Amino acid sequence: MAVMNVNPTRMQLTKLKKQLVTAVRGHKMLKDKRDELMRQFLDLVRETKALRDKVELELAECSDHFVNASAVMSSQALDAALLSPKQQVQLELGSRNVMSVEIPEYTAASRTSNEGDIYPYGFAFTSFELDDAVSSLNDVLPDLIKLAQYEKSCELMSAEIEKTRRRVNSLEHVMIPRYQETIKYISMKLEENDRSSRTRLMKVKDMLLEKAHGWN
């Protein structure tokens, strides 16, 4: 590990020791954040998988209903029945903070509260199979919106986990060892300088003693 290019002084040593303490504390906090993010991410992944399986089953059911409707109605009649929808869904986007990650929260609201407005046609010239198809598609919509929210949240949390992991690794394998090596290097240099100073002082003292003894 390369030593930092700094002057080996006591002031610099004190400064680096403080920076090392800060780096170690930051490393622990980031590790805790990473571990908690991973826990919440895995919980969300399990929820997302369960919801996706449910949505796929619901969409398969919707598809079956539309196949049945197309079997008893002509394609022109089917297209005409669905041409002018009466209902409209408005989607509001919010967010909440999870371990410094802003994950989305989607809220859907219908333009009208009349449940019958999901059918954009009169019932006189359509089949009940089409009613089942439209109703099942309306039922799956909230789960589709929630699934989109979950999957986007997983994407954002995954990116934050990767970013936090890189920062943890940088501190653990680069910055902290570099601080430690530099502190060790400066400490050794200061001890070496102290020994040299003591040696010089002892020599000067011996010379003074010899000189004083010679005067006597």
Assess if residue 215 is contained within a domain: no
pLDDT tens figures, 59-71: 999 999 999 998 9
Predicted confidence band of residue 1 (pLDDT cuts 50, 70, 90) = low
Assess if residue 5 is contained within a domain: no
Assess if residue 188 is contained within a domain: yes
Assess if residue 2 is contained within a domain: no
Predicted confidence band of residue 116 (pLDDT cuts 50, 70, 90) = confident
Domain range enclosing 104: 10-206
Assess if residue 3 is contained within a domain: no
How far, CA to CA in Å, does 59 sit from each of 62, 110, 143?
5, 20, 10
Assess if residue 173 is contained within a domain: yes
Assess if residue 1 is contained within a domain: no
Predicted confidence band of residue 21 (pLDDT cuts 50, 70, 90) = very high
Assess if residue 195 is contained within a domain: yes
Predicted confidence band of residue 164 (pLDDT cuts 50, 70, 90) = very high
pLDDT at 126: 83
Per the prediction, the chain carries an average pLDDT of: 89
pLDDT tens figures, 71-98: 988 888 888 888 888 888 888 999 999 8
pLDDT tens figures, 130-154: 999 999 999 999 999 999 999 999 9
Residue 102, domain CATH: 1.10.287.3240
Q: Which residue type sits at 63?
A: S
Q: What's the number of domains the chain is made of?
A: 1
pLDDT at 178: 94
